[in-house]
Amino acid sequence: MQEIGGYIELGGLINQPYHKNCLDFNSSRNALKYFIRFNKIKKIYLPIYLCEVVYRACVDEKCDIVLYHIDNDFMPILDDYDGYSYIYLVNYYGLISNDKIKKMMNKYKSLIVDNTHSFFQKPVTNSIYNCRKYFGVADGAYLYSNIKKNDEIEPYVVNDKIGHLIGRLEENAVTYYTEFSNNDKKFDKGNIYKMSNFSKIIMGAIDYKNSYKIRIDNFNYLNEKLKKFQRLSLPNNLTFMYPLYVDEGKKVRDYLISKKIYIPKLWPNIVEENNLSKIELEYINNILPLPIDQRYSKEDMDCIISSLEEICEEV
């Protein structure tokens, strides 16, 4: 019997998630595992320029893995493709448009798109989305595919995994970074789960229209102001982070961190790092993903720009 009475839990918010008519999971790696398991995939092509957790997910599902390189435009180089196996296409920074994906689909029928970096991009084929890369939730991912339901799996439990979210709201990121990192590692352990009830409530109550607009405005503003330092040719209207490609990325990143502007390195743990191509090594070391998300204003972007002008004119 359902409990009646007692204290009031989190709830009663609107239920309007951005992604609908798809399956939810606690993590994108588990969404991939479920897709592999359901479709009995035995072999998959992965980019070598990729977070190792995706590689490990495929290993866990006993897939044969073929690693491929990307070109200067972040597109896959598939000279040795066998013609039938699944290709895992990473939409780096949202730079691979749906038109490019459709062209890929015409050539390669078995495709799954990692839209971790492009939450607002509509799916045109099998696609995975990550909630935590865009919003302050404890877990969450979406899968669009030929799979219609995942009712047999249980929701993830996060009552002991939300301290860093509340902590940063009330204090600062540095204090709770270790807790955040430790919680992230827990996704590698245990079974496949659906998205937690906690994160579902939050994802249903987000102002997506406003979040989208702020991200677009911030991206376009940086894209205009940072032209003199930018080595990539970027379109406007991307929503993940602003990928600033500079010389001496480590020096610039360290300087920004000293100014309390925290820049991640995508990705620090690469499988077979010694086999990366020259351009892949360049991108890992010298692309600085600048924050543009809904927490930040034009004044925050000016702070980033000012700090970059101080250091980039020296290198």
The pLDDT value given to residue 181: 65
Q: Of 171, 204, 237, which residue sits at a domain end?
A: 204
Token digits of residue 280: 């892949």
Q: What percent of the chain has pLDDT over 70?
A: 91
State the average pLDDT over residues 3-32: 89
In a shared domain, residues 186 and 82: yes
Domain of 222, in residue numbers: 208-312
Q: Hey, which of 50-54, 180-184, 236-240 has the most confident mean pLDDT? A: 236-240
Count of positions (residues) in the chain: 315
The pLDDT value given to residue 5: 80
**What phi, psi does 290 have (nearest 5°)?**
-90, 135
Lowest-confidence pick of 89-103, 220-234, 259-273:
259-273
254 belongs to a structural domain: yes
In a shared domain, residues 51 and 107: yes
Q: How many domains does the chain have?
A: 2
In a shared domain, residues 218 and 189: no
pLDDT above 60: residue 230: yes
pLDDT above 80: residue 10: no
Q: What is the pLDDT of residues 161-174, one digit of tens each?
A: 776 666 666 667 66
The pLDDT value given to residue 7: 67
Q: Of 170, 204, 238, which residue sits at a domain end?
A: 204
The model's confidence at residue 4, banded by pLDDT at 50, 70 and 90, is: confident
The pLDDT value given to residue 159: 82
Q: Of 204, 225, 242, which residue sits at a domain end?
A: 204
The C-alpha atoms of residue 134 and residue 142 are separated, in whole angstroms, by 13
Average model confidence (pLDDT) for the chain? 92
The model's confidence at residue 186, banded by pLDDT at 50, 70 and 90, is: low
Q: What is the pLDDT of residues 131-150, one digit of tens each?
A: 999 999 999 999 999 999 99
Query: CA separation (Å) from 173 to 7, 127, 240, 259, 281?
Result: 30, 31, 19, 14, 29
Q: Name 100's Cβ contacts closer than 8 Å, sequence gap at least 6.
A: 75
282 belongs to a structural domain: yes
12 belongs to a structural domain: no
In a shared domain, residues 44 and 151: yes
pLDDT above 60: residue 176: no
Q: What is the pLDDT of residues 42-94, one digit of tens each?
A: 999 999 999 899 999 999 999 999 999 999 999 999 999 999 999 999 999 99
In a shared domain, residues 185 and 85: yes
241 belongs to a structural domain: yes
In a shared domain, residues 183 and 108: yes
State the average pLDDT over residues 98-121: 97
In a shared domain, residues 221 and 250: yes
Parallel, antiparallel or unpaired: strands 141-144 and 23-25: antiparallel
Token digits of residue 264: 């991640």
The pLDDT value given to residue 167: 60
In a shared domain, residues 135 and 281: no
Tell me the helix, strand and coil percentages in the chain, rounded to 5: 40, 15, 45
Q: Is the pTM of this model over 0.75?
A: yes
In a shared domain, residues 56 and 139: yes
pLDDT above 90: residue 38: yes
In a shared domain, residues 141 and 264: no
In a shared domain, residues 111 and 234: no
Query: CA separation (Å) from 36 to 46, 66, 135, 154, 271?
Result: 13, 15, 26, 19, 20
The CB-side HSE value for 131 (13 A sphere, CA atoms) comes to 29
17 belongs to a structural domain: no
| SS3 letters across 43-90 | EEEEECCCCHHHHHHHHHCCCEEEEEEECCCCCEECCCCCCCCEEEEE
Helices 52-60 and 28-39, packing angle to 10 deg: 30
Q: CB burial class (10 A; 0-12, 13-18, 19+) of residue 160? A: exposed
Residue 70 belongs to a domain with what CATH number?
3.40.640.10
4 belongs to a structural domain: no
148 belongs to a structural domain: yes
Q: What is the pLDDT of residues 256-313, one digit of tens each?
A: 999 999 998 888 778 777 799 999 999 999 999 999 999 999 999 999 999 999 999 8
Residue 249 belongs to a domain with what CATH number?
3.90.1150.10
In a shared domain, residues 123 and 157: yes
The model's confidence at residue 315, banded by pLDDT at 50, 70 and 90, is: low
303 belongs to a structural domain: yes
